Structure 1
Amino acid sequence: MTYLPSVGLSQLKYSLPARRTSVRELAVAGQLHSRPETLTAFGFESAYIAQDDELNPALAKSVHDLLASAQLSPSEIPLLIVATGSPAPSPAQDTPEALEQFHFRSARLQHEIGAHEARALELVGQGCGTFVSALDLAARYLTTSDYSHALVVAADARPPGASRDVIHNLMSDAAAAVLVSRRSPMLRIRGFYQQSQPYYWETATKREEVLASYFPMTVRVITQALTAFNVPAEALRWIVPHNVGVRSWELVCRALKFPLDRVWLENVARVGHTVSCDHVINLVDMRSRGAIAAGDLLLLFTFGFGASWTAMLVEA
């Protein structure tokens, strides 16, 4: 797929819950499967935990702020994609309460922000990789239509009281919004590459196999993606990661012979992994700290249960 050369991520916003809890506090509360020493050794320090319905109004505010920055009204958004990294439970059959489970976040957000003209949909099925796939779909939509913008959003939260670590990765709740624009002044999408291994669809029963395949597949997909993009690894200014443990990226970089200091890991300790929002959080913070210059090539990489490995090439 060849995108329009100017299609890119023109506006990015994220929101984290007010409550921030340390690894030690989570251990005391019984919200960890892993030993706290293991998580801190992997680079994690704290997680953000949403209270009640905190994320939904936070997401709506992020969208309002994003549209204000872009000087757009909600009526100018033709496509709204809500990327859901955590699948919802299936509606119960033949029960009076079944209708209560048909509660669509895309429709709620569309109503709350007043984007009544938008085609609103939810994308699910690639776990933590869903958001990057949604960015790709939005870019393709703009490339093959006359529309100027598409809005991609996400808000993921663990259930109240649930464990805060998944296979030794500390999880935060977060919301994020990205405006994908036909004529973006920055972060232009140059390529998308994905490999799926649906054999791992039943994650809970294949936990050890998923863990064993993660590292070789990550190295393979990054290598093959760069080949497909015709970009040598040394041309990358940054790998913008999903915020899994620092130890994981040490192993990947060693296999790739890629410098670890060119993987943006600044948010692993503070935020950890957020299911869908890691790349938005990282890109916003990288730009605010002056870590990205015009023309820099960035490789966004993520893995999602299901399982899929995904890379997107972006030019700052």
Structure 2
Amino acid sequence: MNFPSITVAAQDKGNLTAESGLNGDIHINPGNGTGTVYFEGIDLLELVKIVYSLPPIWINHSHVGFVGTFEGGREVDIPLQVKEPSGGSIKFSLVAGDLPPGIHLESDRGRIFGIAPDVDAQYSFTIRATGSRGMFEDAVFKMETIELQHCQYEPCHNGALCNETNVGKGYECVCADFYGGKDCRTDCRQSEVGISLPSKIPDAQMSAYLSHEMSNATEARLNSEEKGWCGENSNSWLQIDLGNRSKIAGVTVYGYSGQYLTESFQLSFSTDGQNFQYIKNGTSPIVFPGRSGRLYSKLEEVTTARFIRFHPYSYNAKYVPCMKVELFGCIL
């Protein structure tokens, strides 16, 4: 049986009274579906739910109170365990105190994470857990950090110098010439910069001067199917922008064939893209060998630069100098 919708309304300035008998009740039932009961635009059922809802509950075995002592430079990852009685989502926020430098609060997933500062200090802060209905509960946390003498554990390798700091992991390594990376484990002579990969050296960071006909600088990538980048003559050059200052320790050139190749070349470098100087052996620019096929040349001394230019020096005079290239080094 279907029942019609019924609207009961009084005249202007009239009253509408619902009154039960002795010990009787008045029921307002929106049905078993998703109906609501409105009073002047307010959902009375939702209001009742809010009145009777409970705030989030911090679980007893959660990291509430003193969360621990952390050595400087060590990773911190503390989950916040809270139960929401209504089953909804929970948001976390910092409402008092300060987190240690380098430590962060993930508001959606409920996590305190980061790298502990390398100082002797104590921190106290309050985090609020807010439920889906706006109810909240606060919890106080305390954390201690201690300064650690990292260099006594010899974290730096390959003859590097270790310096204590109060930022990051608490130390820094000053690498010997041909090594790089956080702990100087990387041999820059064997680490490709990645010219072949646009994800590492985008097209916009490859340029050239006096290119032959329609030759493009990006054709100098080792995995290019073209002859490589071809210059017009020995006044031409190919430039690679590494994006950051880098240690350059080696270079590979590839000649496409016995005709389209660069028999020898020179390298110049710059840190600002404006002022270039040749890589020298004493006072004379070094002439690196090239050939048909792939050839690797190690630099006798590491060169620190952001921009590297390849200058064709000799080539088959019946043709034009062509090359594909790769650099070996470490990004600083």
**Pairwise TM-score range, normalised by the shorter structure:** under 0.3
- Between Structure 1 and Structure 2, the one with more helix by share is 1
TM-score (norm 1): 0.23
Q: Which has the larger radius of gyration?
A: 2
Higher relative contact order (CA 8 A, sep 6+): 1
TM-score (norm 2): 0.22
- Between Structure 1 and Structure 2, the one with more strand by share is 2
